[in-house]
Amino acid sequence: MPDCSVVVIAYNDAARLPRAVRSVLGQSLRNVEVIIADDASTDDTEQVARQLMAEDSRVRYLRRKVNSGGCGAPRNDGIDAALSPYIMFLDSDDRLTRHACKSLLTEIERTGAQFVSGQISRFYEATGKQQRYYPSLFAPRRVVEGIEAEPELFVDSFTTNKLYDVAFLRSKALRFPEGVHFEDHVFAAELYSVATRFAVVPWVIYLWHRAADDTSISLSHSEMTNVRQRIGAAFAADRILADHGLSHLVPERQHRFLRQDLPVYLHPLPSREEVWVKEFASVVRPYLATVPQEVFDRTDPMVKVCAQLILDERVEDLTVAARSLTGPHAPPRQATQQNGRTYWGTSVGPGTDITALRLAELPYTASRLRHEVTDLASDGRRVTMTVRTYDPFGALPTDWKAFIRLGATKVAIEPRPSGDGCYISEITFVPAKGGDPRIGFTRLSDGRTTTDRLLVDPRVEPVRVGEITVRPEGRAAILRVSAPPRRPSLLRRTAKKLLKRWSTPAMKLKVYKVLIRVLPRKKDLALFESDCGKGYTGSPRALYEELRRRGLPVAVVWSAARNRDTFPKDAGIVRRSSWRYIWTMARAAYWVDSHGFPLDYPKPRGTRYLQTWHGQGIKSIGFDAPDLRADFAQPRDQWREAIARWDALVSPGAEFERIFVTANRYAGPLLRYGTPRCDALVRGQTPEGVRERLEIPPGKKVLLYAPTYRDAAKFSGRSVRVDLDLLAEELADEWVLVLRTHPVEKYKVPQRVRHFVRPAGSYPEINDLMLISDALLTDYSSVSSDYAVTGKPMLFYIDDWDDYRRNERGVYHDLPSIAPGPCLSTTEELVTALRDLPAVHRAHAQRYAAWRQLWCADERGNAAARVVDDFFAGPLAQPAVGGGYLWGTR
């Protein structure tokens, strides 16, 4: 008896069937059977299936005489033919991941579940990229005692991402409806109605292939038959729940329809003909009429608006609203504000309430205008168009100037009031490169600008200017300028090829090693670098400004990987890793940085290297950190040699020395004067213009949220763990949250909370943010060690504390037992703490004092001056006799 049967259904799919079958035959669970259920194919599917059966005895082939018209009948054939105690279903154009059968079989036997659901992932064949389907549904790994325990799982109505107990299916007479489409929705409703125990696992077990020319039943959204079948399946699924005494769960399944099914048709709606839209609305309207208002109120506000417009038979407005769902997420043409609520259009009612989007509360630079291109033409030399601009939330001031921008090119425009609530612009421009044109309005009082992309009818014919095409792009759609890549001259191509050949990292390192042997050091030249060249900040900045204040004869060149605008206008700058950078490294008599110059580059003889390091705290560092504590010699040796280059290390205090110095096995001189970057915090002078730059309204308190990254999830955005929606709902009247993500992170603030959240991940100087803030929210970040200098309240959001200390980074201190503020694990707890912040801060006064003594005891506001005294003008400026160096003293 096989351990698991996998039913692969196929119809006229000879080309892809082998891929699906081999994804089963290649399972790590070897004792499987494959049942190919052919729904009367008319191509070579039968021949291919019989060949697969001849190649492997684990393959069986079933063929229907007449096509059933859907996926239900062949799947039922598979259930009837299965020999094993467990069964899975696979479509011929998809694949199982290698351990799918084994992992689900282990889980169903371990839990005694009636079926197990695993993560499904879209696989885009054109790019090879994957996108998980609602990953939050499948995490954490768990057992669910019936659908009433987690009705949100109605969203998982797939039948192919599950392993079923065959005896359970047969005992409950669970069958797929035949001769209909979306039979999986109906089957899933029946399954959830009768199952009393099922398991959910977070790993991907099913790859749902998405080809560019996919014509599968579920993706034929332009066919009205597809719409009718989906609505029929929705009605049938609701009836099944009612028949099983679960009428109270029907709204939960309807919420699934609004969340997942309806948007499938709404997203491409702007590109449909009006006749199609009218028929679509008439087909969908009867089902929407059964959905209670409380279900609409739980769904996305713009999906709710579209549903209301369908119910009200406002087809033209429906197409306008659908452009707010995807792509540029365009604002409405008009909005109505009444009693603190915001409504789409001019009608006021629950169905048009879009207050949750907070579009009317955005700061000016993030405010939304709607620009619609109504006429688009070209005479072959230039593009002319008419644009209607809508300001639905009254964001535009009385004094402004407008422009259209494409790349770095800006052309002034003169929008004029139309008399019907919008502005009309007649625009002529000559596109010279590709990109998305944007119209911007600059507020003259303070120079702030808001810009938005241009909407255009998706059916508009493209126009050309030479080789450049101006056309609609996307479902919404936006105006896009497409330019062919410029082919450089032969001389330029040859030079680029040679440069690429001779500018490799390996070649630069070779040249550098020659340069440091033959070039003398330039005694007054210093190379400064902060955060691997990412900005003008930290202790290197403080030391640089002290050097300039004193007028010492040291010519400083800054390394910049990006953000050159943050550096002083008169600062010397070289691009990090460029040839000029290599040359400067080889010639400089001083190196100063806060992270580490390129690891493989030896320090030239006679060059003095000052390491200021960028932070201290509880998380593991150096050879204790995840990337070095593994027993791999090369990275450990590389880091050991990199540390050996340091001629002096800035030490904030004794605890830093106990942890950092030990963990990095550093044995050189220590400058025990505090941290240069903290001098500004000790002085405590709030810098001017920061609140205005971040558009923080007068009277609002500032919560600085600065989480650290997670080593296992860099660039994922998962370090932002607080529920920003809930925080905004509860605190936006009193607070503004400034979000300072770690440089090793990517996170885009959702538009719906931009009225409350100010993204500051790229803000050049974190000291400014600490000084304007009223409290700090962090987790395991070293920022808490610096922030203690300010004496202001701190809160710690550590909902993953056990995982972080045991499985992730690892820590040196038990944070909950010593934290100078409350350690929180839910956003509700955070809200409560912030509402009573003075009392919470007082309750942690003793811990706060101990924390400050632990990390900041030596911070007196003169660290930069004392480090400059020693390193640039004192005993550490030159090697001591015998090659040793003096140690700094507290």
Judged against a pLDDT cut of 60, whether residue 297 lies above it is answered with yes
For 33-92, what is each residue's pLDDT tens digit? 999 999 999 999 999 999 999 999 999 999 999 999 999 999 999 999 999 999 999 999
* Token pair for 693: 């730059």
Burial class from Cβ neighbours inside 10 Å (0-12, 13-18, 19+) for residue 817 reads: exposed
Query: What pLDDT score was predicted for residue 885?
Result: 35
Query: What pLDDT score was predicted for residue 889?
Result: 41
Highest mean pLDDT among 103-117, 633-647, 874-888: 103-117
Report the distance separating Cα 125 and Cα 173, nearest Å.
Answer: 37
**What burial letters (b/e) apply to 850-877, b meaning 16+ CB within 10 Å?**
ebbebbbebbeeebbbbbbbbbbeeebb
Query: What pLDDT score was predicted for residue 878?
Result: 62
21, containing H or E segment? helix 17-25
Task: Specify whether the CB–CB gap between 439 and 413 falls below 8 A.
Answer: yes
Predicted confidence band of residue 452 (pLDDT cuts 50, 70, 90): very high
Report the distance separating Cα 135 and Cα 323, nearest Å.
Answer: 26
Judged against a pLDDT cut of 90, whether residue 387 lies above it is answered with yes
Can you tell me whether residue 830 is helix, strand or coil? helix
Query: What pLDDT score was predicted for residue 686?
Result: 85
Query: What pLDDT score was predicted for residue 433?
Result: 86
Judged against a pLDDT cut of 70, whether residue 431 lies above it is answered with yes
Judged against a pLDDT cut of 50, whether residue 881 lies above it is answered with no
Query: What pLDDT score was predicted for residue 489?
Result: 75
Predicted confidence band of residue 219 (pLDDT cuts 50, 70, 90): low
What residues are paired with 65 via a beta bridge? Answer: none
Select the more confidently predicted residue: 633 or 149.
149
Other beta carbons within 10 Å of 292: 10
Predicted confidence band of residue 216 (pLDDT cuts 50, 70, 90): low
Report the distance separating Cα 120 and Cα 134, nearest Å.
Answer: 9
What residues are paired with 236 via a beta bridge? Answer: none
Q: For the ranges 211-225, 279-293, 505-519, which has the lowest average pLDDT?
A: 211-225
Reported pTM? 0.87
For 709-735, what is each residue's pLDDT tens digit? 998 888 888 999 999 999 999 999 999
Sign of CA pseudo-dihedral 27, 30, 32, 37: positive
Predicted confidence band of residue 890 (pLDDT cuts 50, 70, 90): very low
Please give the average per-residue pLDDT across 277-295, as a whole number.
97
Query: What pLDDT score was predicted for residue 215?
Result: 53
